[in-house]
Structure 1
Amino acid sequence: MQGEHPIRAQVLVAGGGPVGMLVAAELAAYGVDTVLLEPRTEVSDQPKATTLHARAVQSLARRGHMPGPARPAYGPEPASSAFHFAGLPGLTITAPPHEPEPVLKCAQADLERHLESRARTAGARILRGHRVTDVEQDGSGVRGTAEGPQGSAVLRADYVVGADGARSTVRTRSGIESDTVPATVSALMGTVTLADSGDLPKGWHRTPRGWIVAKHDGDRTHLRTLNCAGPHEDRRSPVTLDELRDEVAHIAGRDIAMHSPHWLSRFSDFARLARTFGRGRVFLVGDAAHVHFPIGGQGLSTGVLDALNLSWKLAHAVHGTAGPGLLDSYDAERRPLARRVIDGTLAQLALMRPGPEAEALRTVFTGLLTAESGSGHLSGLISAQDTVLPDPTGAGGPAAGTYLANTALGTPDGDTDVIRLLHDGRPHLLLLGEKADRHREASRAWAGILHTVEVRPTPAVPYEAVLLRPDGHLAWVPGDGELGQVLTAYFEPGAPATAG
């Protein structure tokens, strides 16, 4: 077997799904030498995730990664989208004014292509047909191996990001252990042609024997089934058309003729949460870090938020501008939120199980969904819009960790808004009003990192100054803590800027 030349990079990303491509696009935009290795030679069009929820959509918009028009119009009124909770209709998810629609439907394959294009344009090297087989940390970085078209290759990087899915090689070879929840249900997914599409109307169908979800796309129908009687005997055995047909008939209580199968697969409610999202110079994002039952469509959104949280921190670490605990904050901020998603999906599955107790719970939750009006706990649980990150300094002030909603901002260089301001990927110090000049002086040692912007006072930002992280969360507002104390925790002073 002929060996390849060594593959060297400042950051190596293992896995080229949408989450891995987003990490590569972000890092390359920050000027980080980035290589992404992906076993597939081309994007798979197999139906997978199709939903991005509000906080992920808002965060992608702030970094300029939204698929579709470069600058869609975000209306002045709150935008609402109908969704479900555990298959129950009535959940409304509402985004604040001037934000994108709170639920974006986008096929995973289309998002992957979009982000791969952005990653390549930014300068990332995307090596398809390459599978990472081993990683090992040493005193100066991470070394490993990969299998590619020409045989084995040696890897060398300062950092490695594992975006290589639920069976992550990076996670296992790095010795990162996980907490798991065993499978208790069986589920099938497939795209077929129904002999009569009227046999199974679009939507969620519940019977005493389980659930069927049907979505029609031209002459094809995307089917998902849920059987709570127990897990698959062999999780990895191929699914046949006969198995899917029999399962649909069992749940529906009648035969439904189907043919021409595509993309048949099986899944379950097995859940995994890595015990740390970062160890030394190795980090995990997306399914490599957390796996859960796909009810609620939160998996892709959670991975997107992982990628956006980690990438700017990792870029500062590569450039030598990260504060002492900046990389550690990735695990501290993202792992509890992944735990929350797993707990939420387990709760939804409990509502979907058969039995009189679950039926009573569904009745109660149907009333709760109606009463929430788009801004309650369940809406926040699904959309992640209620996320408040921990303040690593204790000096960030009363709003530290909250997300700054999009709003118009008047500056000496013209009118802008929060979304457009964050496209450059830098932390921003917003100075609002005459009393804010003292904060400019306090931040002078970080002038090469910060984008300091004078902003006309606005009721939407009720502070004389704010320190805004590149991911849209507030790091500091005036309070008992000093700006310099927070900047010291996040960034090294006196360093050159990193462009986004």
Structure 2
Amino acid sequence: MDAPVIVVGAGPAGMMLAGELRLAGVAVIVVERLERRTGESRGLGFTARTLETFDQRGILSRFGDIETGALGHFGGLPLDFGVLGGSCRAAKSVPQSVTETHLEEWATELGADIRRGHEVLSLHDDGAGVEVEVRGPGGAHTLRAAYLVGCDGGRSTVRKAAGFDFPGTAATMEMFLADVKGVDLKPRPIGETLPGGMVMVGPLPGGTTRIVVCERGTPPRRRDTPPSFEEVAAAWQRLTGEDISAAEPVWVSSFGDATRQVTEYRRGRVLLAGDAAHIHLPAGGQGMNTGIQDSVNLGWKLAAVVRGRAPLSLLDTYHDERHAVGRRLLMNTRAQGLLFLSGAEVQPLRDSLKELMAYDDVARHLAAMVSGLEISYDVGTGAHPLLGRRMPHLELVGAAGKTSSTELLHPARGVLLDLADNPRLRRRATAWADRIDIVTAEPHGAPRGAEAGDAAALLIRPDGYVAWAAPGSHHDLPMALERWFGTP
């Protein structure tokens, strides 16, 4: 084996997965077709769940002072995320290029082997490993790994070469996206419809302006190169009457409203994550954020299987958990597309939904859906409210001093959090001490039930989700430990 795992694609999903694997002590090679990062920024900012994810790995500080806000939208209709609580805010102004830079630096520091200018030509899963034919600066050569993960985007070579089914609906229109300088345009929120289509204008850092142009009735085109800025400016003028042809384009791209999802996230020893597994209309930056969270769900599981600490069945939970999340993603982005891309015929629906969103329950439901905060996994039966949900930030104090549930997850290991100083509980988990951290502490600075839900103990997976709680779980601790962390 050249490495236990080969990751194809050095975007946010690929870099996040590489970092997760290295935290677990697994060597990884990342192959990327492009010789350098493009600097393009299709995705802007992070959802509240991704902010939590970065924080639990100790990498949020790499992004500096992030401006967050509680105001968002659903299909162009204003949505106040404040209904979810004061800490449930999103970051709106971090370009994807910045995200890719920081994640690549993190993965490299951890020891990931990143090989740019290497294009995957073919692959073969022989049941004992995966052989990948790659063309690099020195010509074509073959790499072999125990597992291969495609994080290579919507036109994934890995997905096609491995024969994944990718059902869904084809694009019905083409839209333009451009970052420009040297033009003074009034802000236009997403969802502002015009007789011929929809446009959006939003400021970015550094004096750059982002514009989106959707001209209804434009058939989709399969392009091998980006559209020219002249095309974008012409469409903008047809819709708005404004001439932006003198603006300086930073970069230009096009996208469509195709919606597809693979039927399985794993075929043998080949897995998919991010846009390689699901494509959809951009709406609120959910695609990049979902891809990052795909990788966090997969990383520790794949590492445990590679290291022989967990059975192959653990990888099945990756599909079970994340395919359902992707399915919800496609549903809500299609719904949002109908709202902000359709014409006047949909205005009664917009008006009706706007009335409903004035109710807190409706606003909470939609805000949780698009922020990823609604996600809950099937970890076994039980009555505790945190079972299957992500562990909230909890300030703690123990023998070693102050810490938090977030800080305990920095090493990407499982955590058994003993909140009642129960020696018998800790003894029962000792056999798994090589793969989980056993921590005795008590909540600090908040009522005991405020975040921990009056739990006496919690088993937290490396991805931050609660797999067992006492009281509340209907199976015992060793059973939960064996399910998620293998036979001791």
**TM-score with structure 1 length normalisation?**
0.89
Q: Give runs of aligned pairs for residues 67-466 of structure 1, distance below 5 A.
A: 67-68=61-62, 81-93=70-82, 96=85, 101-193=89-181, 197-198=184-185, 200-204=186-190, 205-217=192-204, 220-236=208-224, 238-253=226-241, 255-372=243-360, 376-391=364-379, 393-394=380-381, 399-434=386-421, 436-456=422-442, 458-459=448-449, 460-461=451-452, 462-466=454-458
Cα distance, 1:233 vs. partner?
Answer: 4.3
Matched, 1:14 2:8: yes
Contact 1:142 1:157 in 2 (8 A): yes
Distance, in Å, in 1 between the alignment partners of 2:240 and 2:7 is 44
Matched, 1:485 2:488: no
Distance, in Å, in 2 between the alignment partners of 1:100 and 1:264 is 32
Corresponding residue number in structure 2 for 1:54: 48
Distance 1:433 1:259, change over 3 A: closer
Matched, 1:29 2:29: no
Distance, in Å, in 2 between the alignment partners of 1:255 and 1:107 is 26
Identify the range of structure 1 (339-348 vs 371-380) with the bigger mean alpha-carbon deviation.
Answer: 371-380
Distance 1:236 1:396, change over 3 A: farther
Contact 1:39 1:128 in 2 (8 A): yes
Contact 1:210 1:226 in 2 (8 A): yes
- Show CA shifts across 1:94-118 (max 9, x none): 6656x58433531111111111111
Distance, in Å, in 1 between the alignment partners of 2:390 and 2:363 is 15
What code does the residue aligned with 1:122 have? L
- Show CA shifts across 1:82-140 (max 9, x none): 1112122243356656x584335311111111111111111111111111121211132
What code does the residue aligned with 1:183 have? A
Distance, in Å, in 2 between the alignment partners of 1:24 and 1:73 is 24
Identify the range of structure 1 (395-404 vs 57-66) with the bigger mean alpha-carbon deviation.
Answer: 395-404
What code does the residue aligned with 2:145 have? A
Cα distance, 1:332 vs. partner?
Answer: 0.4
**SS of residue paired to 2:155:** coil
Distance, in Å, in 1 between the alignment partners of 2:383 and 2:361 is 32
Contact 1:11 1:34 in 2 (8 A): yes
**SS of residue paired to 2:357:** helix
Contact 2:174 2:221 in 1 (8 A): no
What code does the residue aligned with 2:267 have? R
Distance, in Å, in 1 between the alignment partners of 2:52 and 2:4 is 29
Distance 1:259 1:272, change over 3 A: same
**SS of residue paired to 1:376:** helix
**SS of residue paired to 1:409:** strand
Cα distance, 1:327 vs. partner?
Answer: 1.0
What code does the residue aligned with 2:477 have? L
Contact 2:396 2:405 in 1 (8 A): yes
- Show CA shifts across 1:44-89 (max 9, x none): 112321121011110111012225368x899xxxx85111121222
Corresponding residue number in structure 1 for 2:465: 473
Distance 1:444 1:67, change over 3 A: closer
Distance, in Å, in 1 between the alignment partners of 2:393 and 2:15 is 25
Identify the range of structure 1 (135-144 vs 234-243) with the bigger mean alpha-carbon deviation.
Answer: 234-243
Distance, in Å, in 2 between the alignment partners of 1:363 and 1:203 is 17
Distance, in Å, in 1 between the alignment partners of 2:324 and 2:382 is 21
Identity score, percent: 33
**SS of residue paired to 1:223:** strand
Distance 1:339 1:469, change over 3 A: same
Contact 2:274 2:287 in 1 (8 A): yes
Contact 2:193 2:341 in 1 (8 A): no
Distance, in Å, in 1 between the alignment partners of 2:145 and 2:114 is 15
Identify the range of structure 1 (323-332 vs 117-126) with the bigger mean alpha-carbon deviation.
Answer: 323-332
Runs of 5+ consecutive residues of structure 1 not aligned to the other structure: 1-6, 495-500
What code does the residue aligned with 1:295 have? A
Cα distance, 1:253 vs. partner?
Answer: 4.4
Runs of 5+ consecutive residues of structure 2 not aligned to the other structure: none
Contact 2:69 2:92 in 1 (8 A): no
Distance, in Å, in 1 between the alignment partners of 2:430 and 2:325 is 34
- Show CA shifts across 1:16-68 (max 9, x none): 01110111111112111111111111111123211210111101110122253
Distance 1:486 1:13, change over 3 A: same
Distance, in Å, in 1 between the alignment partners of 2:483 and 2:344 is 53
Contact 1:51 1:106 in 2 (8 A): yes
Distance 1:104 1:455, change over 3 A: farther
Provide the aligned C-alpha RMSD in A: 2.5
Corresponding residue number in structure 2 for 1:498: none
Distance 1:22 1:414, change over 3 A: same
